[in-house]
Amino acid sequence: MVKVGMIGTGYWGPNLIRNFITCPDTELVWACDIDGNQLDKVLAPYPGVKRTTDFIDILSDASVEAVAIATPVHTHFPIAKACLEKGRHVLVEKPLASTVMEGEELVGLAEQKRLQLMCDHTFCYTGTVRKIKEIIQSGTLGELLYYDSVRVNLGLFQQDVNVVWDLAPHDLSILDFLIDEEPVQVSAHGVSHAGNNIENMAYLTLHYQSSFISHFHLNWLSPVKIRKTIICGSEKMLVWDDLEPSEKIKIYDKGVEVKPSDRDKKADLLISYRSGDMYAPSID
């Protein structure tokens, strides 16, 4: 059983604490937060967990083998680095760090110390995303043409990172899990409406060597919460609505067909539209 220390009990920390408590392979030994009242509130159901407002206390306990970090983004790097230097395995909430340079340093340090460093890209472990990968690998969709994601809601406005750093890691990790091809070009456009020069709305586009393209719409300033992704293939199209309670994935037998003989005759291009059935696969 792995003895774990938890740093950060604010927005996401309580979820990790609950999972560490219920997991048969982990024992939550410590929890830390600079807000003592919040710490006491979260740990009220777990009186056996030690508590502290200084994470150094966790690193001073030789029994702790791994540390989970769910703190503001700007603190990820210094806290994770300190934990790795003390020989602890580390789980960090996304994003791994505030800059690429910081992330690379953490990866290098983990390799040097032969420790596990993991960024908690939760969607890659869900039954839904794993089912999507299974569908893609089966060839059901045909050749992939595009990935189009809308990830918007009202808040939470972050103080240390923009909407791209906050929400895009979800889609970037999902794409990295689903397809083998890596992008060759990235473009991002965003704007700040809060007067703090931190973009709260952005559009991110990834271009690939093939004709595949991916696009993310990210927004903290939306009147409705939307979590919808379309993956278009040459044979079928997949729609994933993560807010749908039952049929999260729907596959549509829709698309277009172009006669090969007409491809070079743009003026006489003939396109036929295919509209077939829709079905929702079961998800484990």
pLDDT in tens, 110-148: 999 999 999 999 999 999 999 999 999 999 999 999 999
| Residue 247 CA from chain centroid, whole number | 21
CA nearest neighbour of 146 among 230, 271, 53, 59? 230
Percent of the chain with pLDDT over 90: 88
pLDDT in tens, 80-99: 999 999 999 999 999 999 99
pLDDT of residue 254: 85
Given the structure tokens 């890659």, which residue do they identify? Answer: 124
pLDDT in tens, 9-51: 999 999 999 999 999 999 999 999 999 999 999 999 999 999 9
Q: Is the pLDDT of residue 200 over 80?
A: yes
With respect to CATH, is domain 2-120 assigned 3.40.50.280?
Answer: no
Q: Is the pLDDT of residue 260 over 70?
A: no
Q: Is the pLDDT of residue 57 over 80?
A: yes
CA nearest neighbour of 113 among 77, 92, 83, 91? 83
d(CA 252, CA 275): 8
pLDDT of residue 268: 57
pLDDT in tens, 138-191: 999 999 999 999 999 998 899 899 999 999 999 999 999 999 999 999 999 999
- Which H or E element spans position 226? strand 221-233
What's the mean pLDDT when you consider all of the chain? 94
pLDDT of residue 270: 63
Q: Which residues pair with 237 in a beta bridge?
A: 232, 252
- Which option is the CATH number for 124-279: 3.30.360.10, 1.20.58.100, 3.20.20.10, 3.30.9.30? 3.30.360.10
pLDDT of residue 224: 97
The residues spanned by each domain of the chain are: 2-120, 124-279
> H-type helices in the chain, by residue range?
13-22, 36-43, 56-59, 73-85, 100-113, 127-138, 163-178
Tokens of 204: 């991110």
